[in-house]
Structure 1
Amino acid sequence: MSQPLLSLVDTDPAELAVDAIVIGLHSQPDDGGALLPAAGAESIAAAFDGKLTSTLALLGASGAPGEVTKLATLGTIAAPLIVAVGLGDEPSGSAPQPEKLRRGTGAAVRALAGSATVALALPLPDDEDAPGVLRAILEGALLGGYKFAGYKTKPQPTRREPVSALQVHVPDAADEAARAEVTRAEVVARSVRQARDWVNMPPNELRPPSFAEAVVAAGEQAGLAVEVLDFDELKAGGYGGIVAVGQGSEALPRLVKLTYTPAGVTDPKRVALVGKGITFDTGGISIKPAAGMWEMKSDMAGAAAVGAAMLAVAALKPGVAVSGYLAMAENMPSGSAYRPGDVITMFNGKRVEIYNTDAEGRLVLGDAIARACQDGTDYVLEASTLTGGQVVALGKRIAGLMGSDAAIELVRAAGDKVGEPAWPMPMPEEVRKGMESDIADISQTNSNLDRAGHMLQGGVFLSEFVADGVEWAHVDIAGPGYHSGEASGYLTKGGTGVPIRTFLQAIDDLA
């Protein structure tokens, strides 16, 4: 897994000898929609004697967010190609919103696949917002250019390799704060790209044992402490949820724990990241419809995000103790699969009556959350592609968020900062009442098989496994964890890596 080489430059953008240079372009609705070069492109606009925007307009540019327009420079500047990316209306402040820049940069770099070296001359403010804006540009560039290697046996004549080197224009290329942002962006992007790779792998190539092996190898290389429980150890340890879900597959389940301990920090805050790792979800005995089932290879996106986030934590070394718990299983129908009507005993001793084997994620997560709480933690932050109800309620870009007030606000604020929005949802008492069981402590879904409040049922169930005094947040990424449409902004088709950047920002905020 490689990503472009990233560097800072302070040479005049018009003099940069690169294959292409990216500039921003604003629309001006108060001036009849006239185009305006964004800050950072002044010397390039001057080289065109005031005709740059009119030429781009002739090529169809409107300045709409994410729109990409290419213009051959014919020797006017050192770079042979200008790529103007729309940034929307002229901002009232010194720079557009970071997320707008992140998306625009991603779109531009992806459009330049096949170019070896690309320079970015985009707007940077000269105030306290500069680090956040630079971070958005760097992340957009590194993530927008991602492409999964795939499994094709013949070279594809239309395939163009991603950009191999990126230069970002800044006022001072030696500035330590800016250089620190480059280092952080490289670490974070590598983490997100790793999660995307795991999610995009076909399910026959990434089953629980091989997924565990891949995470363990990456964790050990990063210097993390690693623990793996196999099927026999899970049974002996009382992990009834993970065992039940995984016992129907010949590729038996695993629980992987990765641990980072900060050096020289006395009594650090403790965070547990928990991820759902269903490497393929057929629905089990309650089998899913065939249409679109292939996309269930992405049902391990939460665990992929947690594992990859831990790799970034190991590199960034925050002053917070962080552990990652990846609950891995393959939900298959077979003679050994668990059934509707079963009663299973979870890791914390609670007994659960099963109504629908397709609501398996909450079972593996319940065990992992209970284990995290037993190990000792101040916060549990959990990510999972848990319910179709999340997509129905909030769509493909906004995650559902439930939990304790403090953790909800921590995750919501972090997500807003990095462009991974999450919307707080309630956990009404009537939802819990609907999950009462006649023979066990709780039923796994609504006892009437009523899908009303389906997303809320998942959060309510998970709350049963959080220890008293632990702040916790459940992030339902059923939509945001996998992008099934055409590439958009810095999101390419397939795995997204959500919510890695949210979790890393939340850890920074706690530190």
Structure 2
Amino acid sequence: MNLNTSARSIPSTLKFEATPLSTPTETVLISRKSVLSSAIQANDALSIIPPGAPIKGMMKSIGKTGKATTFLPDDSGSKFTLILLPEKVTRNNHPLSPHTITDSLVGGNILGKGGENGVQVYVLDDKIEERMGAVAAAIARAMPVYTSKSQATKKDEEEVEEKVNNVSVSFMNEIGAAVESKDLWDSLNSAATSVRLAGKLGDMPPAELNPATYAAEVKQITNELKESGHNVVYEEIVGDELKEKGYGGVYGVGMAAGVAPRIVIVTYTPEVDTAVESVALCGKGVCYDTGGLSLKPKTGMPGMKHDMGGSAGLLGAFKAAVELKTPKKITLILGIVENAIGPKAVRNDDILTMYSGKTVEINNTDAEGRLVLGDLVAHASKHIQGLDIIVDMATLTGAQLVTTGKKHAGILAKTEELEQRTYRSGLTSGDLCYPMLYAPELLKSEFASKVADMKNSVKDRGNAQASCAGHFIEAHLDSNYKGDWVHVDMAGPDTKMERATGYGVALVLGLLGAPGFN
């Protein structure tokens, strides 16, 4: 999908390739001080350092971690930026601290000033091939796509030819030699494009991204994958059909909106006899969340365009996984709705019948995401034959930020094996996550109802609330489902500084074992 076809896109390209730009406007070198020092000691004329760059002085001025920029003494006006990453990180962080990479590149808008000559980024590390995926995603996050800023035009209103900013990234080993693997480059380019796609969708305002236009985006991506020769099938269940078929959670949340709610299902079947696992990806796609009749306050509602971040991350991961011919059968299931107010809005005290057959007494219309996901996991666990794993992902609770913070998603897994697999995927991919308390038998009483099978919100917000929300979703798995399940609450890492981050793409690629992320 071309990210720059819209007039509301920042014109830029990001490519991961072995051959660097010849005369970049700016050269950026990212490394740890110890690795860079060893490389310089082994090769004084390290080719990735522009001639005349005072590299040793810059390293000294930075100290352990940070960045420094200098103009090069060649009368070209070009610059050189050095970014030194932390030497050591704790066990719950990626070794190259991807957040440091993103923050360093965003600060000063380093990747947005390359112009036609572009920016050349070199990443130097002693274990670079196993860390490229996380770095690629971190760099992609530093290049957001969506904008609604007005564009300068000529007085005669003729179109101005946009200058596309080019960014090229090359990866080098500890002696400064380039990584040459084409398969790795293909993987990184696909993953980075998907991270930027997920960020773009998250940043789009609700007037542009509603359930209908979002579904159209998914259908377009499906068609492009199909045209590229991939075996993908698109299905959509819309509006009253949801009600007729029993998807009471999705329909109930979205029935008051001006645009009908829907479930979008895209199935990928890899080449014959190559699928080693069947995985369902269930995403919360709340294009806007007013809170419903439990209306959010004026300071709590801005930013709720990002409440579809879980679905965007899964869509991006699905797209990249298919492009890379990942040997898994993958089913993408998105619940796309607006949680609006109006005469048809679901009320507190209403009772919804979910697709699982269980009844839910509404005691908080702002706890809507779990209703959507409850229907999605019920569908997956009931209808997908031979399903091994269900992954649901959502910006589900503010409590997740209290539980695992703003950089780590909270994960809740049925088995310790899947919990550890997901956690390790976070460490490898740079989409960090950490396990939350798994204890349904201790927490299910939080949803006790006198008149229905359960309520949709806890009675005690101080009792492992983020875990409770995940257990609510788990309660709607089909009773005959024998596979595994993991819930990813990524409310914290989904956004930063009012921008969507594309979180989840890299995590799920790692979980699926996609090339470059396994």
Q: Normalising by structure 1, report the TM-score.
A: 0.85
Residue-by-residue CA offset, 1:431-483 (whole Å, 9 max, x unaligned)? 2122121111111122x364532212201101111233120000001111111
Do residues 461 (structure 1) and 486 (structure 2) align?
A: no
Determine if contact 2:28/2:82 at 8 Å carries over to the other structure.
Answer: yes
CA shift, 1:169, in A, is 5.5
SS of 2:507 mapped into structure 1? helix
Determine if contact 2:134/2:431 at 8 Å carries over to the other structure.
Answer: no
CA distance in 1 between partners of 2:316 and 2:428 (Å): 20
Note the residue ranges of structure 1 that are not aligned, 5 or more in a row. 29-34, 486-492
Determine if contact 1:117/1:165 at 8 Å carries over to the other structure.
Answer: yes
Which residue of 1 is the match for residue 39 of structure 2? 39
CA shift, 1:43, in A, is 1.8
Do residues 499 (structure 1) and 501 (structure 2) align?
A: no
CA distance in 2 between partners of 1:122 and 1:414 (Å): 21
Which residue of 2 is the match for residue 300 of structure 1? 308
CA distance in 2 between partners of 1:50 and 1:83 (Å): 9
Structure 1 counterpart of 2:499, one-letter code? G
**Over the residues paired in the alignment, what is the CA RMSD in angstroms?**
3.1
Do residues 283 (structure 1) and 291 (structure 2) align?
A: yes
Determine if contact 1:325/1:368 at 8 Å carries over to the other structure.
Answer: yes
CA distance in 1 between partners of 2:198 and 2:427 (Å): 21
CA distance in 1 between partners of 2:452 and 2:32 (Å): 61
SS of 1:22 mapped into structure 2? strand
Residue-by-residue CA offset, 1:123-163 (whole Å, 9 max, x unaligned)? 233xxx4422344444444432x13331122439xxx9774
Do residues 426 (structure 1) and 428 (structure 2) align?
A: no
Residue-by-residue CA offset, 1:6-34 (whole Å, 9 max, x unaligned)? 321389xxxx5332222246558xxxxxx
Change (3 A) 1:53 1:174: closer
Do residues 151 (structure 1) and 148 (structure 2) align?
A: yes
Determine if contact 1:118/1:165 at 8 Å carries over to the other structure.
Answer: yes
Do residues 20 (structure 1) and 34 (structure 2) align?
A: no
Q: How do residues 238-387 of structure 1 correspond to structure 2 at under 5 angstroms?
A: 238-265=246-273, 268-376=276-384, 377-387=387-397
Residue-by-residue CA offset, 1:46-77 (whole Å, 9 max, x unaligned)? 987995322564xx53341xx3311122039x
SS of 1:294 mapped into structure 2? coil
CA distance in 1 between partners of 2:225 and 2:270 (Å): 14
SS of 1:228 mapped into structure 2? strand
SS of 2:334 mapped into structure 1? strand
Equivalent of residue 164 in structure 1, options 166, 174, 179:
166
Determine if contact 1:63/1:85 at 8 Å carries over to the other structure.
Answer: no
CA shift, 1:234, in A, is 0.5
SS of 2:296 mapped into structure 1? coil
Percent identity among equivalent residues? 27
Change (3 A) 1:42 1:414: farther
CA distance in 2 between partners of 1:49 and 1:482 (Å): 39
Greater shift in the superposed pair: 106-115 or 468-477: 106-115
Equivalent of residue 96 in structure 2, options 95, 99, 109:
99
Change (3 A) 1:233 1:472: same
Change (3 A) 1:193 1:39: same
CA distance in 2 between partners of 1:189 and 1:55 (Å): 30
CA shift, 1:267, in A, is 6.0
Which residue of 1 is the match for residue 123 of structure 2? 122
CA shift, 1:367, in A, is 0.3
CA shift, 1:90, in A, is 8.4
Q: How do residues 68-147 of structure 1 correspond to structure 2 at under 5 angstroms?
A: 68-75=67-74, 80-89=78-87, 98-100=95-97, 103-104=100-101, 107-108=104-105, 110-115=109-114, 116-125=117-126, 129-144=127-142, 146-147=143-144
CA distance in 1 between partners of 2:310 and 2:171 (Å): 35
CA distance in 1 between partners of 2:392 and 2:97 (Å): 27
CA distance in 1 between partners of 2:171 and 2:490 (Å): 35
Which residue of 2 is the match for residue 31 of structure 1? none
Determine if contact 2:242/2:250 at 8 Å carries over to the other structure.
Answer: yes
CA distance in 1 between partners of 2:101 and 2:55 (Å): 19
CA shift, 1:494, in A, is 0.8
Determine if contact 2:135/2:430 at 8 Å carries over to the other structure.
Answer: no
Determine if contact 1:277/1:328 at 8 Å carries over to the other structure.
Answer: yes
SS of 1:4 mapped into structure 2? strand
Which residue of 2 is the match for residue 488 of structure 1? none
CA distance in 1 between partners of 2:338 and 2:54 (Å): 59
Q: Normalising by structure 2, report the TM-score.
A: 0.83
Which residue of 2 is the match for residue 214 of structure 1? 217
CA distance in 2 between partners of 1:47 and 1:268 (Å): 47
CA distance in 1 between partners of 2:348 and 2:300 (Å): 23
Structure 2 counterpart of 1:353, one-letter code? E
Which residue of 2 is the match for residue 438 of structure 1? 450
Structure 1 counterpart of 2:63, one-letter code? S
Do residues 476 (structure 1) and 482 (structure 2) align?
A: no
CA distance in 2 between partners of 1:169 and 1:207 (Å): 39
Change (3 A) 1:122 1:477: closer
CA distance in 2 between partners of 1:479 and 1:302 (Å): 11
Change (3 A) 1:292 1:444: closer
